Amino acid sequence: MRQIVLAGNWKMHKTQADASAYTRALLSHPLEPNRHIVLCVPFTTLATVGAAVAGQTQISVGAQNIHWAEQGAFTGEISGAMLTELGVRYVVVGHSERREHFGETDATVNQRLVAAQKHGLIPILCVGETKAIREASQTEAWILAQLEAGLVGIDLARLIIAYEPIWAIGTGETCEATEANRVISVIRRHLSSPDVTIQYGGSVKPDNIDELMAQPEIDGVLVGGASLDPAGFARIINYQASTVAV
């Protein structure tokens, strides 16, 4: 059974004070049942957000990175044990911003995924193409190569994949819901398990969430900018897909 997972990726936003105010506001909204929410927050707010959502069975805390070593001379990095000690259950791995600005490769992404699962964390593996790759009709080949290299030794039963076309991230340019659905079905057919939760990410907003979640292959979303506002994110996680004709 594929689980519905809606994740917010705060990126480098919000202090602890901001995070407390945010969780208070978010929790004032009732939640639709049978969907799981993950707040992927900066390291400095993991404990604050974890404490605020303790006892909320539908909401978990996620980190935005994990190093593959248990400990060591890796300035600025964070280990699995440091995350699990704070009650973290999910971790974003291979986000395109990490790949573009911090030199992540498919090989380091794989090492981080392995470390996450070793520590009992569920990684959210991000894959996606640039505009140039899309225009060269290489989207499918690119993504399947990212998966091929990234998923070596990974247990598909404890994994989420996020399809995030890079040209749609933070740009306001959304991938058509039907096109996101198509690429996700290509990803799903490539995997040896049909049960992997596959999200869409890239300019997800309150006004396109219903159409996205009405698509049969889309099991959730990874939301950046629009997850920063608790009322907007509450609208996203309380999407009403049944109101949309597909």
Q: Which of 97, 164, 211, 217 is catalytic?
A: 164
b/e string for 66-90 if b means 16 or more Cβ within 10 A? bbbeeeeeeeeebbbebbbebebbb
Near ligand PGA in 93-132, by CB under 6 A:
none
Residue type, 45: T
- Secondary structure of 217-228 in the HEC alphabet? CCCEEEECHHHC
Q: Which of 104, 225, 235, 236 binds ligand PGA (CB under 6 A)?
A: 225
# binding residues, ligand PGA (CB under 6 A): 13
Check if the beta carbon of residue 43 is closer than 8 Å to that of residue 11. Answer: no
Q: Which of 104, 164, 211, 217 binds ligand PGA (CB under 6 A)?
A: 164
End-to-end CA distance of the chain: 22
Closer by beta carbon to ligand PGA, 79 or else 92: 92
Paired tokens of 233: 């994110």
Check if the beta carbon of residue 226 is closer than 8 Å to that of residue 188. Answer: no
Please count the other Cβ atoms lying within 10 Å of the Cβ belonging to residue 199. 26
Q: Is 36 a catalytic residue?
A: no
170 contacts ligand PGA (rule: CB under 6 A): yes
Q: Which of 124, 224, 234, 235 binds ligand PGA (CB under 6 A)?
A: 224
Near ligand PGA in 3-22, by CB under 6 A:
9
Closer by beta carbon to ligand PGA, 196 or else 226: 226
Q: Is 29 a catalytic residue?
A: no
223 contacts ligand PGA (rule: CB under 6 A): yes
Closer by beta carbon to ligand PGA, 150 or else 225: 225
Report CA-CA distances (Å) from 28 to 79, 90, 149: 33, 23, 42
Check if the beta carbon of residue 126 is closer than 8 Å to that of residue 92. Answer: yes
Closest separation in Å from C-beta 184 to ligand PGA: 15
Closer by beta carbon to ligand PGA, 224 or else 230: 224
Interface residues with ligand PGA (CB under 6 A) are: 9, 164, 169-170, 201-204, 222-226
